[in-house]
Amino acid sequence: RAAAVVVPFDGEGRLADGTPVALLANVGGAADAATAADARAEGIGLFRTEFCFLDRVDAPSVDEQVEAYRGVLAAFPGRRVVVRTLDAGSDKPLPFANADDEDNPALGVRGLRVARRSPGLLDDQLRALALAAEAESALVEVMAPMVATVEEARVFADQARAAGLERVGVMIETPSAALLASEMLEVVDFVSVGTNDLAQYTLAADRLLGELGELNDPWQPAVLRLIGAAGAAGRVWSLPVGVCGEAAADPALAPVLIGLGVSSLSMTPRALGRVAAALAEVTAEQCLTAAEAVLKAATAAEARSAAAEVLGSES
């Protein structure tokens, strides 16, 4: 296959009828943030903070964390930056946060669940984030990974707000969180759908196993319906629902996600131009029609062709 051509992005995501769609970048640290700024991302929709500390044996100090976070915030002054608290465990184990004797790490103490075992870790991170935000005069938004229950969301939101962080969200990456999106939005300010894990947990298929790729597919109708549940909840509360998994980088799927109620897409910076070009071809009305069509599909193939028929793309 020929290397994909990178389509330039003009820095403003919108549909053919002018409806804005925030196109944001996924980053793992300051170097990525610089790349994202060069690619004219409108902000950062997912800062995977665990990437800053993958090689660490001991937990980073608050000062070390402040420095790492400031490096990212400094690249997007005045822009939206969504910082995810440590998603330690499973495919991203951190020696200072995770036990190494779990039989099923993807179903184990990962993401926000680590905070229960090591409360100081989340305390320190929230403090570091608040300090970094203050130092950079940045509008930081903070979100938690691997949330399954409304209690978890509430405890996280209380803790983040007590640390001085005003905009708080949770990731929707478990079927439970998707089905409870409306209740989640009663206690947080936004949600962001992590389609990589949402597909893994919905289809019960390890995201690291290439041979299960057909199951690990955001076009699977069950995944689309769960994203639709989150989008519908966002519409009810008039609160933002983002997508920050790989699905956001699929130009054929992006308009469908918007039709399902998603208001921002966060992706690898090199995908921004292609997704922006696909969105610029379609109206909000077409996105809605495509979303209605995929929600009736029984298979991933049917969902793809239903969307292509409405949107005229050759997916």
Contact indicator for 122, 63 with CB cutoff of 8 Å: no
Interface size with ligand PEP, residues (CB under 6 A): 10
Tokens 């929709």 belong to 45
Is 50 near Mg ion (CB under 5 A)?
Answer: no
Contact indicator for 248, 192 with CB cutoff of 8 Å: no
Given candidates 149, 176, 196, 315, which one binds ligand PEP under the rule CB under 6 A?
196
Given candidates 197, 217, 224, 258, which one binds ligand PEP under the rule CB under 6 A?
197
Q: Considering the complex, what minimum distance in angstroms separates the CB of residue 110 from ligand PEP?
A: 9
Identify the sign of the CA torsion 76, 77, 78, 84: positive
Q: Considering the complex, what minimum distance in angstroms separates the CB of residue 105 from ligand PEP?
A: 13
Torsion on CA atoms 4, 7, 12, 14, rounded to nearest 10 = -70
Contact indicator for 187, 150 with CB cutoff of 8 Å: yes
Report what 152 binds from ligand PEP, Mg ion, none; CB cut-off 5-8 Å by kind: none
Q: Considering the complex, what minimum distance in angstroms separates the CB of residue 63 from Mg ion?
A: 28
User: How far is the C-alpha of 142 from the C-alpha of 161, rounded, in Å?
Assistant: 10
Binding segment (CB under 6 A) for ligand PEP, from list 189-197, 267-275, 278-286, 300-308: 189-197
Q: Give the residue among 312, 250, 314, 242 at the shortest CA–CA distance from 16.
A: 312
Name the token pair of 77.
């002054």
Contact indicator for 33, 71 with CB cutoff of 8 Å: yes
Residues 155-174 that bind ligand PEP (CB under 6 A): 173
Q: Site mask, ligand PEP, residues 239-278, x = CB under 6 A?
A: -----xx---------------------------------
Given candidates 45, 89, 194, 228, which one binds Mg ion under the rule CB under 5 A?
194
Tell me which residues touch ligand PEP (CB under 6 A): 46, 48, 87, 173, 194-197, 244-245
Tell me which residues touch Mg ion (CB under 5 A): 173, 194, 197
